[in-house]
A and B are shown apart, each in its own frame.
Chain A
Amino acid sequence: MLNKGYIIKIIINCSGLFFLFLFWELFVENFLIPKPSEIIITFFKLLSFEETWKNILISGIRVYTSITIALILGTIIGSLRYFKKEIYFLINPLFYPTQYIASAVWTIIGIVLFGLSPITPYFVIIIVILPNIFVSVQIGLNNINKTFIEYGKSHTQNKWRLYKYIIFPQILPHLLIGLIRSNAVAWKIVVTAELFISINGLGFMINNYYKMLDIQKLFATVLIIILIGLIFDQIFKHLKIKIEERYII
């Protein structure tokens, strides 16, 4: 249930944004920049179109399928350090430098590799998020409580069972932090990738409205992206808190 303190906290958090919008509404007069009230009206109008929901669904599928694949791949590759150190040392140098390559560059590389195909947005999101997940796993492994491993070793030397019951649960909270970071990054990337290559999705909508110079709809689409990102961000944060509660004795 929402308590009084929580509501006050939300009001304080939103007040800065409220005053910014108020200033924008009252004092910004530019034919290119629509007023917040106009954007909100357009936002609800856009939501009444079936096509908008289709595009939200398409972008959402791209984002969360890619995040899932990146999570699985990143966890497997990151965990190699525990299972096979030799392979880990071989892979490790490949991951850290990729973090410095911008998503737009990866989009171009994706187009070169896969052409203007539906695979490209998936490729770009996965390749950009993968180092995030990989690093989260490494932080998790660095912070493993060794006394728990000792306990496990007093019962079994089987590496997989030690990983499943003792190591992975300790990586999980770090993995969730990686997931929250990846959620924000993935929404940025999917729009970038869709701007370049797609014939559907929220990025395509933005590109389309830009070409038609329909700035109100363009801003309203940005608002949709922000809201979806925030909703999932809150879901993951809630999940993280629920899981972290179990780690406190």
Chain B
Amino acid sequence: MIKIENLCKSYESQRIYHNFNLNINKGKIIKLIGPNGIGKTTLFRCITDIENYSGNITCNGKISYLFQEDRLFPWLNIKQNIFLPIRLIGKKPNKTDINNMNYFAKMMGISKHLDKQINQISGGQKQKILIIRTFITNPDIILLDEAFNSLDKKNHQLIHKKIINFCKKNKKTVILATHNDNIPLNLFDDIIDLNTNKIQS
């Protein structure tokens, strides 16, 4: 569950959020829309505590954030990149994590690329690695910020469908910020328009 109360956030003179409130229940799949600069990324950055803000944000569960830009670490190989979040939370990858990685790699169709270096794979494959890395810690809340932009149209829809169905099945809360209208709306429980501050169910 995510509960946002009276969120206020400004960048110098530009006010992004003023007393913004939002409640997202567990297991909901949310599409976050709005024009560029409206604060979709800022909202994710506040939820993950990357940005300072005033107000109150409560999240019940482990959060994983898939950034808009590629953040694969060039000095690590693909497997090390995938397991980095586990190391960052102070654990070592175990058998379950390896099984998880193999499961998602199979889902994304990149099992045979797992032993490569980052500079040996394409942009689309990097995007898929980023998706696997997002899910490797078995998060309860997943924030996807324009997450699948590097994928071609066919892969884009397919991966969306697979990921969202997986999250629905496993009762994971997902907020997907996107400009893309090609994703079938029936995949989402709610659509939040930050421009109008309206929630469509």
Q: How far is the CA of A169 from the CA of B76 in the complex (A)?
A: 9
Whether B74 lies near A246 (C-beta < 8 A) is: yes
Whether A153 lies near B50 (C-beta < 8 A) is: yes
Partner of A169 from the list B64, B65, B75, B85 (CB cut-off 8 Å) is B75
Whether A151 lies near B71 (C-beta < 8 A) is: yes
Q: Does B165 lie at the interface of the complex (its beta carbon under 8 Å from any beta carbon of A)? A: no
Whether B117 lies near A246 (C-beta < 8 A) is: yes
Q: Interface with A: B86-94, B150-158, B174-182, which one?
A: B86-94
Whether A161 lies near B87 (C-beta < 8 A) is: yes
A137-160 CB mask vs B (1 if < 8 Å, else 0) is: 000000000011011111111100
Q: Does A10 lie at the interface of the complex (its beta carbon under 8 Å from any beta carbon of B)? A: no
Q: How far is the CA of A152 from the CA of B48 in the complex (A)?
A: 11
In chain A, what residue has the closest Cβ to B137?
A: A155
B119 CB contacts on chain A under 8 angstroms: 248-249
Q: How far is the CA of A154 from the CA of B64 in the complex (A)?
A: 7
B45 CB contacts on chain A under 8 angstroms: 150
B85 CB contacts on chain A under 8 angstroms: 155
Beta-carbon contacts under 8 Å, B46-66 to A: 48-50, 63-65
Query: What is the interface of chain A mostly: helix, strand, loop, or mixed?
Result: helix
Chain A: residues with Cβ within 8 Å of the partner, total of: 22
Q: Does A165 lie at the interface of the complex (its beta carbon under 8 Å from any beta carbon of B)? A: yes
Whether A156 lies near B90 (C-beta < 8 A) is: yes
A152 CB contacts on chain B under 8 angstroms: 88
Q: Range of interface residues on chain B?
A: 20 to 34
Q: Does A247 lie at the interface of the complex (its beta carbon under 8 Å from any beta carbon of B)? A: yes
Whether B88 lies near A147 (C-beta < 8 A) is: no
Whether B74 lies near A247 (C-beta < 8 A) is: yes
Whether A165 lies near B88 (C-beta < 8 A) is: yes
With A151-B67, A153-B48, A157-B49: A247-B72 Cβ-Cβ less than 8 Å: no
A151 CB contacts on chain B under 8 angstroms: 67, 71
B126-145 CB mask vs A (1 if < 8 Å, else 0) is: 00000000000100000000
Q: Does B108 lie at the interface of the complex (its beta carbon under 8 Å from any beta carbon of A)? A: no
A249 CB contacts on chain B under 8 angstroms: 72, 74, 118-119
B118 CB contacts on chain A under 8 angstroms: 249
For B45, B65, B74, B76, which residue has the most chain A Cβ atoms within 10 angstroms? B74
Whether B75 lies near A161 (C-beta < 8 A) is: no
Q: Does B69 lie at the interface of the complex (its beta carbon under 8 Å from any beta carbon of A)? A: yes
For residue B75, give the distance in angstroms from its CB to the closest CB of chain A.
5
Beta-carbon contacts under 8 Å, A206-231 to B: none
For A161, A169, A172, A246, which residue has the most chain B Cβ atoms within 10 angstroms? A246
With A150-B50, A246-B117: A155-B71 Cβ-Cβ less than 8 Å: no
Q: Does B84 lie at the interface of the complex (its beta carbon under 8 Å from any beta carbon of A)? A: yes
Q: How far is the CA of A243 from the CA of B76 in the complex (A)?
A: 11
A172 CB contacts on chain B under 8 angstroms: 75
Q: How far is the CA of A247 from the CA of B74 in the complex (A)?
A: 5
Q: Does B73 lie at the interface of the complex (its beta carbon under 8 Å from any beta carbon of A)? A: yes
- B-side interface residues toward A, CB under 8 Å? 45, 48-50, 63-65, 67, 69, 71-76, 84-85, 87-90, 117-119, 137
- A-side interface residues toward B, CB under 8 Å? 147-148, 150-158, 161-162, 165-166, 169, 172, 243, 246-249
4 closest residue pairs by CB, A with B: A155-B88, A154-B48, A151-B71, A154-B65
17 A-B pairs with CB atoms under 8 Å apart are: A147-B67, A148-B71, A150-B50, A150-B67, A153-B49, A154-B64, A154-B65, A155-B64, A155-B89, A158-B88, A161-B90, A165-B88, A169-B75, A246-B117, A247-B74, A247-B75, A248-B119
Knowing that A148-B71, A161-B87, A169-B73 touch, tell me 12 more A-B residue pairs with CB under 8 angstroms.
A147-B71, A148-B73, A150-B71, A153-B50, A154-B49, A154-B63, A154-B64, A154-B65, A155-B88, A158-B88, A243-B75, A249-B74
